[in-house]
Structure 1
Amino acid sequence: MSIDWAAFGVDLHLEFDPASGRRAGLERALREAIRAGRLTPETRLPSTRTLALELGLARGTVSAAYDQLVAEGYLSARTGSGTVVADLAGSRAQAARPAADVPALRHDLRPGSPDVSTFPTAAWLRATRRALATAPMAAYAYGDPRGRIELRTALADYLGRARGVLAHPDQIVITSGYVQALALLAGVPDGAVLAMEDPGLSFHRDVVRHARAEVVALPVDERGARTDLLRTPAFAAVRSVVVTPAHQYPTGVTLHPHRRHTATTWARERAGLIIEDDYDGEFRYDRQPVGALQGMAPDHVVYVGTAAKTLGPALRLAWMVLPGRLVEPVVRHKRHTDLHTEAIGQLALADLITSHAYDRHIRACRLRYWRRRDLLVNRLGRHVALHGIAAGLHAMVSLPTAGPSEQEILDRAAAHGLALGGLGDHWHSPGDHPPGLIVGYGTPNEGGYLAALDTLARVLGGSPRS
């Protein structure tokens, strides 16, 4: 028996890759055809002799390829019936499902990401080369759960001069991104009750709950998180609070000085813990960046920073500055979570910081995002109410309650190929909340930003250009 392979869109008459061998090439071609649904379940394959003649292969090569795919579950060999394509779970549904008629995404103004095209590739390569040239052999083995001492030392200096953080390298723990840091803190101690800002990122609430901690909503107003409520009976069980003091997400407000003092006073009186999420604290446009809350009460504040907004989320590098009493329990928890964060990126980042290439990159990005913020304000400021524009990589747009709903605006944007963030998903619970949009002006690359603003202006009913 022979198959008209072309009818299935399968090219088995191919130049097999010498590096992988003829058998591997045949296995790969059949495997991909089955995964893609071009060879459907119950399709009978030719005998090993027939296929060997057709492809000019040894019969043993085809037989070995069939045996391998049978072992992997892609094929099924039946006595008296030959070899057929196995019925992979869901393969028919996937093959038959039509493509959804969704407009192509042309402009991305969702919050949460920097312009990754600004990643300092050349500087990172130089830093990596220097780091690898001088790294001890121990850097390639299993390491300290706290992270490489080179990076912890560099961060202690950088955070002190750039963010006002009081840190010693022994107090710093490197994590695989902010999410891991939050999960570790939520799990120490087990069964904790954490207050988290409302509105705030829902995914972070999910992370905390996944760590078996309870979440209590802490309202946010025009002065930031309502830390004054921490002393009320409703928060009596709370021993930890997560705040974004420099630039609250998503409202963009900076925590008022009185609220900062109230939070640290509560922490001292109740032996509480403040988790400071300083996700974009370096990007301030109206004055010098506001110093970290940690400097006011280092024994009661865990400072958490990340390279996700300054360099890029792909690095998966973040850091915690812990009060001394928490270092050992957090390190013990991390050791049982992932043992330690990868070391090569840590060494490269340490070199980037100590060579001051990191500072230069942040200054350049601050100017770039400042210009983008100004373009956003000039283009839309006369048509909508913008909030949180003094810092960060996003702005919040208040929508009139009498106008189109938040979801209608999001749907209209999607029809124009524009992705935005909605405020609705950020509330802890459903209710009659003010509608709004979250516009991330850091996400688009430089060439697409103006076009994205034009589209956003049309969606909101303003003139494309002013």
Structure 2
Amino acid sequence: MRESWPTSTGAAGVDLHLDLPTGPGQGGRRAALERALRDAVRDGRLAPGARLPSTRRLAADTGVARGTVKAAYDQLVAEGYLDARQGSGTVVADRPGPPAAHPGDGGGPAPVPRHDLRPGSPDVTSFPTAAWMRATRRALGAAPSAAYDYGDPRGRIELRTALAEYLGRTRGVVAEPGRIIVTSGYVQALALLVRVTARTVAMEDPGLPFHREVVRRAGGRVVPLPTDERGARTHRLATGAGAVDAVVVTPAHQYPTGVTLHPSRRHALTAWARETGGLVVEDDYDGEFRYDRQPVGALQGTAPDHVVYVGTASKTLGPALRLGWMVLPPRLVAPVAEEKLHSDFHTGALGQLTLAELIRDHGYDRQVRAGRLRYRRRRDLLVARLRRAYGTGPEGGEGGPYGLDGIAAGLHALLTLPPGEPAEAQIRRRAARLGLAVGTLGDHWHENDGPHEGGPPEQGPAHTSAAADRPQGLIIGYGTPGEGAYPAALDALMAALTRP
């Protein structure tokens, strides 16, 4: 027979669950109490430093005599499981943990690089903590009680209304609140769209491998859509037996090459969607960050009934918020909302309310403008260091050995390597020895994904050339380091580029 008690740790009101087996062969209540406490410490349910109930409180909660509880505590103190501290009661003693895993032995996370120039993340040290807290207080102070209940799978109306105004004003998106669905980021948005609308999806080559895997896991088949200096090569989209259902593009700042989709190809892409009924998914992951001219307007604004606009707060505020949004053609709102209902019911409401308030009082605009200035300074410093060392300018100007592309916008640049230089993998290894992490272009080509369950490697209307014919390069992100860490990261980069 087993008896369980949730016990309260005095004024703190913290419950402690104890499973005390009783009956023949169990050795009485003191032995049962000792075993229960000992097991709780061993398996980590009682962490080092955790305060235990007083003997009086635990005796009252369990129905065990106080003297029995005290004797059990004394025994576990003697064994080293507990520690009796004067004035602090009885706490769980510090105990040595398992040996730390060494890098590369598969027993723990990879070591954090000393300098991080990998793309994909903003400078999270610039998160507007004070502004976010003020917006939270205002939002929660005005929130109806229904905000704390289960919500609309499309998202809070406050945020959808604020986003409709902001996206129309800053990105040229044709949006009204009824066309917007709030998600927990781009990954969820992409997976929902694939499950609802698409089975064969064209994705830019090169592109982010993780997003291709998201499509596959959602039930879609991926075919590569090559890119060049004008962006996605839209003429490669087939309209016959090899037709695709949807095309995923990054028109404002292609990832990872950084090029902007040429106007003629923007027109060709929306014409393809109108003629075939296909869907264009516009990933506007860093469209707010344009440095040398006004931001390029969203593709969605030119064909709102055929383009899904997807954006997030991950680059402007931080990935931890898990807030994204889709602006959908009207015909897709209901089916996507239904799919989201059965995916996670709804995105967390309190973060939505806070973001809506931050947008309404223009704190979000201020954060974007501050980020634009910060990242432009970092881009300019990268360009200056490369020009001084190698004569390298934008697009490989001034005759330098390296090409530098994609620097007009966004949080990363592509440094292409000339023929005869060390391979990107060799430079990355050299950088790692200096404590520097960078991205490499070679990781982003489709054919590097290899075979996948359910079929051979990707083939389709946009079959690509051999990897040997492709350029090599480093993808340098200037968002990840904190403000004070960026110059040292560039020092490490320049050292890695220098021949040993």
Does TM, normalized by the shorter one, top 0.5?
Answer: yes
Please name the residue that 1:166 is paired with. Answer: 174
* CA positional deviation for 1:401: 2.7
Distance in 1, matches of 2:257 and 2:300, equals 22
Distance in 1, matches of 2:166 and 2:326, equals 13
Distance in 1, matches of 2:72 and 2:357, equals 57
Unaligned runs of 5+ in 1: 1-15, 37-47, 62-91
Q: Which amino acid aligns with 1:156?
A: A
Conservation of the 8 A alpha-carbon contact between 2:226 and 2:232: yes
Conservation of the 8 A alpha-carbon contact between 2:239 and 2:276: no
Please name the residue that 1:88 is paired with. Answer: none
* CA positional deviation for 1:54: 3.5
Match of 1:268, SS state, is helix
C-alpha distance 448-152 of structure 1, shift in aligned 2 (>3 A): same
**Where in structure 2 are the equivalents of 1:61-72 lying within 5 Å?**
none
Q: TM-score of the superposition, structure 1-length normalised?
A: 0.81
Please name the residue that 2:216 is paired with. Answer: 209
**Where in structure 2 are the equivalents of 1:251-330 lying within 5 Å?**
251-330=257-336
Distance in 1, matches of 2:375 and 2:320, equals 20
**Where in structure 2 are the equivalents of 1:49-448 lying within 5 Å?**
52-55=73-76, 98-100=102-104, 105-189=113-197, 192-231=199-238, 233=240, 236-381=242-387, 382-383=391-392, 384-430=402-448, 431-432=467-468, 433-448=470-485
Conservation of the 8 A alpha-carbon contact between 2:237 and 2:243: no
Conservation of the 8 A alpha-carbon contact between 2:200 and 2:245: yes
* CA positional deviation for 1:441: 0.2
Q: Which amino acid aligns with 2:420?
A: A
Match of 1:369, SS state, is helix
Structural RMSD (CA): 2.9
* CA positional deviation for 1:103: 7.2
Cα displacement string for residues 114-160 of structure 1 (whole angstroms, at most 9, x for unaligned residues): 00011110110010000000001110000000000000000000000
* CA positional deviation for 1:53: 4.2
Conservation of the 8 A alpha-carbon contact between 1:17 and 1:25: no
Distance in 1, matches of 2:133 and 2:147, equals 18
* CA positional deviation for 1:95: 5.2
Q: Which amino acid aligns with 1:334?
A: K
Distance in 1, matches of 2:39 and 2:363, equals 47
Please name the residue that 1:73 is paired with. Answer: none
Please name the residue that 2:64 is paired with. Answer: none
Match of 2:317, SS state, is coil
Distance in 2, matches of 1:97 and 1:175, equals 36
- Aligned residues: percent identity? 64
* CA positional deviation for 1:99: 5.0
Cα displacement string for residues 370-406 of structure 1 (whole angstroms, at most 9, x for unaligned residues): 1000001111142522110000000011012311111
* CA positional deviation for 1:29: 3.5
- Do residues 461 (structure 1) and 498 (structure 2) align? yes
Q: Which amino acid aligns with 1:107?
A: H
Please name the residue that 2:42 is paired with. Answer: 30
Distance in 1, matches of 2:47 and 2:99, equals 9
Match of 1:237, SS state, is coil
C-alpha distance 168-34 of structure 1, shift in aligned 2 (>3 A): closer
Q: How many pairs are equivalent? A: 402
Distance in 1, matches of 2:237 and 2:77, equals 77
* CA positional deviation for 1:416: 0.4
C-alpha distance 270-25 of structure 1, shift in aligned 2 (>3 A): same
* CA positional deviation for 1:55: 3.5
Distance in 2, matches of 1:222 and 1:338, equals 40
Please name the residue that 2:488 is paired with. Answer: 451
Q: Which amino acid aligns with 2:340?
A: K
Q: Which amino acid aligns with 1:192?
A: R
Unaligned runs of 5+ in 2: 1-8, 19-35, 49-68, 83-96, 393-401, 449-466
Distance in 2, matches of 1:29 and 1:448, equals 41
Conservation of the 8 A alpha-carbon contact between 2:164 and 2:176: yes
